[in-house]
Amino acid sequence: MRRVAVVVAVITALYTLRCVVLPRILPPGDVDYRGNRIMLSKWYFDYDDYKNDPENIAPSERTRVESLVVSAPIDRTFANRMEMLKAISALRFPGYGSSQFGEKPQADGTVLAGYSVEVPMANKERVLVFEGRGGLYTLVDDFVTSGDPLVSAVRQEGGHFVYSTRQGQELLRRRREKGGAAQQGDEADER
C-alpha cells in the first residue's frame, strides 16, 4: 500500500511540474509562419496543448499575425488542383483552421472552388475563390470578412460572386471584374 502511495505522489508531482510549474518558468515558445518567428504566450509541451489554448499567441504578436495572414501572398494561377491546395495550406497559421466550400460547377463549364483560412485571434476569415477550367485554377476573389457567421458557399450570379452560409443565408455579394477577378479590397455589396 505504501508503494502505491509513493507512485501516486510521484505521478502527481510530475504532472504538477509539467502542467503548472514549468510552463510558468520556461520562456515562451515560438512558432514559424512563412519565415517569421511568432512568440507564443507560454511554453507548450506538445502541439495539442498549443492548438487547444485559445490564448496561445502572445498579445504583443496578435496584430502582426493578423497582418501576416491577411497579406500573405498567393499565386494567381495554378497548373492543377493539388498545387492550389498546397498553396492554400501554406496560408494557414499553425494550429488554426481552414475550410473548403467545395467545387461548384458553373453554366459555362468552369467550377468555382471556395476556401477560407482562419485569421488567428481576430474573428476573421480570409476567403479565396478560384475558377477551375480544364485543370487550371485561377484566383478570382480574395478578401477578409468577419468570422461570424462563416462563409460556407459561393456561387456566381450575373456579374457578382454571392457568398452564403451553409444554410443558404446570403451574407454578401462582390462584383466580378471584367478580367474575371473581383478586385482586391473591393468593398462587399452587403445584403
Number of domains in the chain: 2
Q: What is the pTM of this model?
A: 0.80
Task: For residues 100 and 28, state if they share a domain.
Answer: no
Task: For residues 80 and 21, state if they share a domain.
Answer: no
Task: For residues 105 and 180, state if they share a domain.
Answer: yes
Task: For residues 106 and 34, state if they share a domain.
Answer: no
In eight-state DSSP terms, residue 188 is P
In the chain, pLDDT over 70 holds for what percent of residues? 82
Q: Is-contact 191 169, C-beta < 8 A?
A: no
Q: How confident is the model at residue 18 (pLDDT cuts 50, 70, 90)?
A: low
Burial of residue 131 (CB within 10 Å: 0-12, 13-18, 19+) is buried
Task: For residues 49 and 97, state if they share a domain.
Answer: no
7, pLDDT greater than 70: no
* 47 within some domain: yes
User: Coil, strand or helix: which one is 164?
Assistant: strand
Residues contacting residue 150 through CB under 8 Å, at least 6 positions apart: 99, 116, 125, 165, 166
Task: For residues 30 and 82, state if they share a domain.
Answer: no
* 133 within some domain: yes
Q: Is-contact 184 143, C-beta < 8 A?
A: yes
**Helical residues (DSSP H) of the chain, grouped into ranges:** 2-16, 22-25, 47-52, 62-71, 81-91
Task: For residues 117 and 24, state if they share a domain.
Answer: no
Distance in angstroms (rounded) separating the CA atoms of residues 27 and 36: 18
Range of the domain at 51: 2-56
59-81 residue pLDDT tens = 999 999 999 999 999 999 999 99
Distance in angstroms (rounded) separating the CA atoms of residues 29 and 52: 15
* 63 within some domain: no
4, pLDDT greater than 80: no
Task: For residues 45 and 80, state if they share a domain.
Answer: no
Task: For residues 163 and 80, state if they share a domain.
Answer: yes
* 67 within some domain: no
